[in-house]
Structure 1
Amino acid sequence: MSNKEQEVLEKYISQHNLKITKQRRAVLEAFLNCEDHVSAEELYKIVSAKEPKIGLATVYRTLSLLTESGLAAELDFGDGQKRYEMNYAHEHHDHMICTECGKIIEFHNEVIEKLQEEVAQKNGFKMTSHKLDLFGICKECQQ
């Protein structure tokens, strides 16, 4: 586990008069090791394999802390299940979501980024953040 992410979480927790627990550290470590956009239930399965006494509610609460502290981003791809991805010290990217298999493809396109900025500027809109999610059918599901 990266010391930087642990420091961010511990600082956030102490500022809010909470305690850093073994369970919270276990959730953070499992989250940092996830390559995918993980749901709370998926993360719970990973963490509980190493920490059998951990509860699903602890995973939900810790994911909330990770999101509030800026370590995680909460994503909603319209499938009724919130997913989480690393947010700390990660480059901005957008997503393509397959509506058949649920595959999530991350991408970054400078032309799209520039167009979004131009649209905002033309409309006198000060953009503070944005996200772009494209829904469709991936190459594998089209075959």
Structure 2
Amino acid sequence: MSGTPDPTRSTAQAAGPAGSAAAPSAPGSDGREGTVRVTRQRRAVTGALEQLDDFVSAQELYRWLHDRDHRVSLATVYRILQSLADDGDVDVLRSGEGEAIYRRCEVTGHHHHLVCRQCGRAVEIEAPIVEAWTARIAAEHGFTEPSHTVEIFGLCPDCSRT
């Protein structure tokens, strides 16, 4: 985990109760607009993600927060990360071991990642060839509205040298 901040999308916030704020969120399953309380814990988690360049597991993020004296339970870290993922504010991948890992990305549109298996370094990539292939394969089989996930794991240049 490194410490260079990633740019993030800004969200307008309205004042909320007792040190929290309410931010608009996507409609729920019932179609009604909802709000997300921006608590001290949510600010700590989102602030940490802004400082970290690489994908991180919930447990790694929990340890990072506690090393910096943020009092957030592991269950709360998981809940906040899931909420951020549901809202499209973080990308979620599965590590080689199958663990969910999270990162705020510089690119807000559809993209893919190259991820180092050893150090976790991630590079965001666009892959127009993959997009065209996905659409063609779906159409050949009569599928519409295809979606996909492509993540490539390997060793980054620094880890390959060691």
- Range of TM-score over shorter length: 0.7 to 0.9
* Letter of the structure 1 residue corresponding to residue 99 of structure 2: Q
RMSD: 3.3
Structure 2 contact 8–106 (Cα < 8 Å) conserved: no
Say which SS state the counterpart of residue 11 (structure 1) adopts. Answer: strand
Say which SS state the counterpart of residue 133 (structure 2) adopts. Answer: helix
Partner of 1:76: 94
Matches within 5 A, 1:51-62: 51-62=69-80
Following the alignment from structure 2 to structure 1, what is the Cα–Cα distance between the partners of residues 160 and 97? 17
Partner of 1:26: 44
Partner of 1:111: 129
Structure 1 contact 95–133 (Cα < 8 Å) conserved: yes
Structure 2 contact 116–156 (Cα < 8 Å) conserved: yes
Indicate the structure with greater strand content. 2
Gap change, CA 1:96 and 1:2, over 3 Å in 2: closer
The reply to whether residue 15 of structure 1 matches residue 34 of structure 2 is yes
Partner of 2:19: none
Q: What is the total number of aligned residue pairs between the two structures?
A: 141
Structure 2 contact 113–125 (Cα < 8 Å) conserved: yes
Partner of 1:4: 10
* Letter of the structure 1 residue corresponding to residue 130 of structure 2: I
* Letter of the structure 1 residue corresponding to residue 23 of structure 2: E
Following the alignment from structure 2 to structure 1, what is the Cα–Cα distance between the partners of residues 119 and 68? 29
Following the alignment from structure 1 to structure 2, what is the Cα–Cα distance between the partners of residues 142 and 58? 38
Displacement over 6 Å in runs of 4+:
none
Percent sequence identity is: 30
Structure 2: gaps of 5 or more residues = 1-6, 14-21, 27-32
The reply to whether residue 120 of structure 1 matches residue 126 of structure 2 is no
Following the alignment from structure 2 to structure 1, what is the Cα–Cα distance between the partners of residues 49 and 101? 11
Say which SS state the counterpart of residue 124 (structure 1) adopts. Answer: coil
Q: C-alpha offsets along residues 21-73 of structure 1, whole Å, 9 cap, x if unaligned? A: 11111111211332111111222233223443222222111111111222123
TM-score (norm 1): 0.73
